[in-house]
Structure formats: structure tokens, C-alpha cells
Amino acid sequence: MNSTLKTIVATGLMVAIAGCGNSSGPDGSSSGNGDSDAVVNVYSARHYNTDQELYDGFTEKTGIKVNVIEGKDSELLERLKSEGDRSPADIFLTVDAGRIWRAEEEGLFQPTQSETLNAAIPDNLRHPDGLWFGLSKRARIFVYNPDKVEEQELSTYENLASRQWEGRVCVRSSNNIYNQSLVAWMIEKDGADKTTAWAEGLVNNFARDPEGGDVPQIRAVAQGTCDVAIVNHYYLARLIKSDDPKNKAVTDKVGAYFPDSTHFNISGAGVLANAPNTDNAVQFLEYLASPDAQTFFAQSNNEYPTVEGTQLDTVLQDFGEFTASPINVSAYGRNNSEAITIMDQAGWK
Ligand code: FE
């Protein structure tokens, strides 16, 4: 190593060390870690009542104050882009790997190397280079009418495209990111040709043109409009937990089925490339991946924790055990445009 390079490496290390434990607020003020001025600024597309309690727990533990700006995913992305390197944001938190990918594509994240995060979160639920980490999981499952469907008839997503389901399937529209990610996942698993044939078969089996969100699909099954629907599990969990007798009337009439090799998506977050408080941001993510925070984070939307061994909510316990697909969720973004093309060509409205 020549002496110039040695100096650069040494300077880099000093900067790295100085960076540890330091933080600066949106105004650029600097402070030591753990004192009252330390902050982490979070742009969040999640809005649950329990989130604030979760953030308070982090402040209690570390002394780092959490400033949250909530908004719609697309609005926060626009804001981040327009703020550029003046952005005060340290963390971007959103749902669906397809959406996280949009931020990734814009180059908004920086890689995080954290042994804690890598040990806690399974490989397939985080970005290979640490750009983002999955913090909770949502399964895309089948809801069916037990009067019309024997549970043994259900198996895979692929099977729902077979002739036996003609005119019996409900699912929301193809412009919804959950379906786009489902198709992107299938491209990764089965290839584009098989996925094209599958999408055509599935559209052929629709009981009606796609309409409404996931909850209306569950209602449609209960009302007999369709025999099977594809929905995210937490919508069913929410109805099951509801005190409203109307929702109970719905959930009494439907069954939940987790297809073989269940397709999962995530809620996730990453440290932003222009983060003024990188070290605090990493600590914040590590906190969200801790068992206590995981229980809380996942429960707020009846999701599954990403960290193994975290206590499950009773509704999820009742759903039982199932095998999750091992495919890395980062494929969903990569295959997103191909998925949209396939859905369009299949006539999935
Ligand atoms: Fe949702």
C-alpha cells in the first residue's frame, strides 16, 4: 500500500469512527448518541395506532428521538426525490417488496451491514446487499366457501388456473401491487411462459371482472359470488377479530387455505442514501428486528413477524402451520414490469 492510499484509508476510518454514535437533526445540528438531541427521521407509509408506542420504546431504550412523517407511499417517494441530498429522512418504511423496489430503483437506499439484522432476518426477506430489510410478512392466501369447495381440492396457485375452477375465482385488479408481486413471484419460480399460461387460465376462471379490494373478495365468497378468492391473510384476520356481527357473519361462511409454498410479501425499511443520522437509523432497524418490537410491529396489522421465534397472535396461531416459498422477495420488483405485461396480455383487468 502506498502512503497516499494509507492516508486515505486512515482518514476514511476516522470518518467512520467519528460517524459512529454521532447524529444530526434535520437542522444539521450534531450531537452524541443517547443524549436528548439524538434523532432518527422516519418517512413511513405505514400508519397504525400502535406505531407510536413502538417508536417510544426505541426512544426509551436508546435516548434517540423518532420523528415520523407519514404519507402515501408514492407521495413519500416524490418527497424524497425532490429533497435530494438535503433530505432529513434517515429511514423509508413501506409495504410490499414491489413498492420498496421503486425506492431502490431510484437509488434512494444505502447498503446497511449489520450482523444483528443479518442474523435476525432470513436471507430471502431482505435485500442481498442490505438496501432494505423485511420487518413483517403478509401471506397471499385462498379464502373459500366450504359449502362448495372441499379443502382437499385446493393446493397451489398454479392449480387455480385449471379447468375445475372455471367461473369460480375472485381476485382484485391487476393494477394492485399485491397481485403484481404474486405474478412476479411466479415468474421467478416457474418462468415467464408458464406464468403467461397460468394468468390466461386464471382470468378464464374469474367469476366476475375484478372489482374492489381484498375485503370485498372475502365478502364475495361469503355471498356465493365466487367459491375461492385470493387475498392477503391479514384482511381475513381483521374480520375475524372484528366485533361487528356483519363481519362475523362473513367469517363464519369462509375457510382460509394457505397454498403449498405460500407466496409472501413484506413490510420493510431501509436506510436512505442521504440519511443525516445513519448510525441511529441502523439502531432503529435493529430495534424493529428485536423480538419485543417484532411482536408489536407484526400485530398492528395482524402480520407475521420476520424474526423466527417471535410470539404469534392467536388468530395467526389458529391459521396453523404452512410452508412458505423460499424465493427472495427482491425478485418481485425486478420482475414487476414483466408481470404487468403478462397480466395485461392475459386480459386481467
Ligand atoms: Fe393491504
Report CA dihedral (157, 158, 163, 168) to the nearest 10 degrees.
20
Q: Residues 63-84: pLDDT tens digits?
A: 999 999 999 999 999 999 999 9
Distance from the CA of 287 to the center of ligand 1, in angstroms?
Answer: 24
Distance from the CA of 239 to the center of ligand 1, in angstroms?
Answer: 13
Stretch 210-225: mean pLDDT? 98
Decide: helix, strand or coil at residue 127: coil
Residue 132 confidence (pLDDT) above 70: yes
Distance from the CA of 214 to the center of ligand 1, in angstroms?
Answer: 8
Distance from the CA of 145 to the center of ligand 1, in angstroms?
Answer: 22
Distance from the CA of 32 to the center of ligand 1, in angstroms?
Answer: 39
Distance from the CA of 217 to the center of ligand 1, in angstroms?
Answer: 13
For helices 51-62 and 291-299, give the axis angle rounded to 10 degrees.
160
Any idea which of 2-6, 37-41, 101-105, 285-289 has the lowest mean pLDDT?
Answer: 2-6
Distance from the CA of 232 to the center of ligand 1, in angstroms?
Answer: 7
Residue 210 confidence (pLDDT) above 60: yes
Domain boundaries, the chain: 3-137+266-316, 138-264+322-346
Q: Which helix (H) or strand (E) holds 99?
A: helix 97-105
Decide: helix, strand or coil at residue 156: coil
Confidence of residue 269 (pLDDT cuts 50, 70, 90): very high
Distance from the CA of 293 to the center of ligand 1, in angstroms?
Answer: 21
Distance from the CA of 142 to the center of ligand 1, in angstroms?
Answer: 15
Q: Residues 7-18: pLDDT tens digits?
A: 333 333 333 323
Running DSSP on this structure, what letter comes out for residue 40? E
Q: Do 3-137+266-316 and 138-264+322-346 fold alike per CATH?
A: yes
CATH 3.40.190.10 fits 138-264+322-346, yes or no: yes
3-137+266-316: CATH topology: D-Maltodextrin-Binding Protein; domain 2 (3.40.190)
Tell me the percentage of the chain whose pLDDT exceeds 90. 82
Distance from the CA of 263 to the center of ligand 1, in angstroms?
Answer: 15
Indicate the pTM of the whole model.
Answer: 0.86
Distance from the CA of 38 to the center of ligand 1, in angstroms?
Answer: 33
Distance from the CA of 95 to the center of ligand 1, in angstroms?
Answer: 8
The whole-chain average pLDDT of the chain stands at 90
Residue 349, Cβ density class (10 Å: 0-12 exposed, 13-18 middle, ≥19 buried)? middle
Report CA dihedral (321, 322, 323, 324) to the nearest 10 degrees.
-100
CB 92 within 8 A of CB 109: yes
Stretch 298-326: mean pLDDT? 92
Distance from the CA of 231 to the center of ligand 1, in angstroms?
Answer: 9
Pairing of strands 133-144, 228-232: antiparallel
Any idea which of 77-91, 145-159, 296-310 has the lowest mean pLDDT?
Answer: 296-310
Distance from the CA of 291 to the center of ligand 1, in angstroms?
Answer: 23
Distance from the CA of 233 to the center of ligand 1, in angstroms?
Answer: 9
Rounded to a whole number of angstroms, the distance between the first and last alpha carbons of the chain is: 61
Residue 239 confidence (pLDDT) above 70: yes
Distance from the CA of 186 to the center of ligand 1, in angstroms?
Answer: 20
Distance from the CA of 215 to the center of ligand 1, in angstroms?
Answer: 10
pLDDT at res. 36: 60
Distance, in Å, from the CA atom of 281 to the CA atom of 266, rounded to the nearest integer, reads: 19
Distance from the CA of 281 to the center of ligand 1, in angstroms?
Answer: 25
Distance from the CA of 31 to the center of ligand 1, in angstroms?
Answer: 38
CB 198 within 8 A of CB 205: no
Distance from the CA of 338 to the center of ligand 1, in angstroms?
Answer: 22
pLDDT at res. 300: 87
Which string of b and e fits 161-191 if b means at least 16 CB within 10 Å? Answer: beeebeebbbbbebebbbbbbbbbbbbbbee
